[in-house]
Structure 1
Amino acid sequence: MQVAELQGLAVHYADQGPRDGRAVVFGNSLGTDLRVWDAVLPLLPRGLRLVRYDKRGHGLTQATPGPYSIGQLADDAAALMDHLGLRDAVFVGLSIGGLIGQSLAARRPDLLRGLVLSNTAAKIGTPELWRDRIATVRAGGIEAIGAATMERWFSPAFRETTECRAWQMMLERQPLDAYAAACEAIAAADLREATATLRLPTLAIAGELDGATPPEIVRDTAALIPGARFEVLPGAGHLPGVEVAPAYAALLTRFLEELG
Structure 2
Amino acid sequence: MKMFDTGEVRLHYRVDGPDDGPPVVFSNSLGTDMRLWDPILPLLPKGLRIIRYDKRGHGLSSCPPAPYSMGSLVTDVERLMDHLKVKDCVFVGLSIGGMTAQGLAVKRLDLIRALVLSNTAAKIGTVEMWDERIAAVEKGGIEALADAVMERWFSKDFRATPELELWRNMLVRGEDAGYAGCSAAISGTDFYATTATLRLPALGIAGAEDGSTPPDLVREMMDLIPGSRFHLIRKAGHLPCVEQPEEYAQVLTDFLKAVGHV
Q: Same fold (TM over 0.5)?
A: yes
Q: How many residues align?
A: 260
Deviation, structure 1 residue 66? 2.0
Q: Distance in 2 between matches of 1:66 and 1:176?
A: 9
Alignment of 1:236-251 (within 5 A): 236-251=236-251
In the TM superposition, what is the alpha-carbon distance from 1:164 to its structure 2 partner?
Answer: 0.5
Give distance in 2, aligned partners of 1:107 and 1:63.
Answer: 24
**Cα distance in 1 for residues equivalent to 2:194 and 2:100:** 12
After superposition, where does 1:129-208 map in structure 2 within 5 Å? 129-208=129-208
Unmatched 5+ residue regions in structure 2? none
Taking structure 2 as the reference length, the TM-score comes to 0.98
Q: Which amino acid aligns with 1:247?
A: E
Is residue 2:225 matched to residue 1:225?
yes
Scaled by the length of structure 1, what TM-score is found?
0.99
For structure 1, which runs of at least 5 residues remain unmatched after alignment? none
For residues 46-99 of structure 1, what are the alpha-carbon distances to aligned partners after superposition, in whole Å with 9 as ceiling and x for unaligned?
110000000011000111112111111011111111000100101000000000
CA deviations 1:168-225 (Å, max 9, x no partner) are: 0111111111111100000000011010000110000000000000000000000000
> Percent same amino acid among aligned pairs?
56
Specify the alignment match of 2:94 in structure 1. Answer: 94
Q: Which amino acid counterpart does residue 240 of structure 1 have in structure 2? A: P
AA aligned opposite 1:148:
A
1:217-256 per-position Cα deviation (integer Å, ceiling 9, x unaligned): 0000000000110110011100000000000000100000
In the alignment, the residues of structure 2 paired with residue 103 and residue 38 of structure 1 have an alpha-carbon distance, to the nearest angstrom, of: 25
The separation in 2 between residues aligned to 1:223 and 1:256, in whole angstroms, is 20
Match of 1:211 in 2: 211
**Residue 9 of structure 2: aligned partner:** 9
User: 2-side partners of 1:63 and 1:108: how far apart?
Assistant: 25
Per the TM alignment, residue 6 of structure 1 is displaced from its structure 2 partner at its CA by: 1.6
Displacement after TM superposition at 1:138 (Å): 1.3
Measured in 1, the distance between the counterparts of 2:54 and 2:141 equals 21
Counterpart of 2:41?
A: 41
